[in-house]
Amino acid sequence: MQLVTAPLSSTTEIEALYNSQIIDFESALPAALHSLGSSANEITDALARRRKAEEETKQNKLNDEKASDLANRRAEADIGAIEAQTKKTEEEAKVVGKEKNTAPPSRSGGEK
């Protein structure tokens, strides 16, 4: 029998492969812990903790994206309301301006 693959010999090699995204944590963590002398139970527990942390990170990212999306939709709604209010105010100002120009001159103060 001939060995076809060479086992990883150091945590430095494992780290380099993981950082360059050649292997994922599912491969890197057991290899690194094994090279450090961890037992099978310790490796299994470490993998379970890492999977849980990955899931929480993924969930937090989804929650952040949902919150950001909601904030963007609220901002767009606020902009729409402000634009509508501005248009209404401009129309009212035009009406008031026309009324001032067409109203008869008012008599003020001095006559009795």
* pLDDT score for 104: 62
C-alpha angle 64/49/23, rounded to 5°? Answer: 85
Residue 20 has pLDDT above 50, yes or no: yes
Q: Is residue 87 part of a domain?
A: yes
Average pLDDT over residues 66-85: 92
Domain total of the chain: 1
Q: Is residue 103 part of a domain?
A: no
**Ordered alpha helix ranges (H), the chain:** 11-19, 25-35, 40-102
* pLDDT score for 57: 95
Q: Is residue 40 part of a domain?
A: yes
Q: Is residue 81 part of a domain?
A: yes
What is the chain's mean pLDDT, rounded? 84
* pLDDT score for 94: 86
Q: Is residue 112 part of a domain?
A: no
> What domain range is 76 assigned to?
11-98
Q: How many CA atoms lie within 13 A of 46 on its CB side?
A: 16
Q: Is residue 3 part of a domain?
A: no
Q: Is residue 4 part of a domain?
A: no
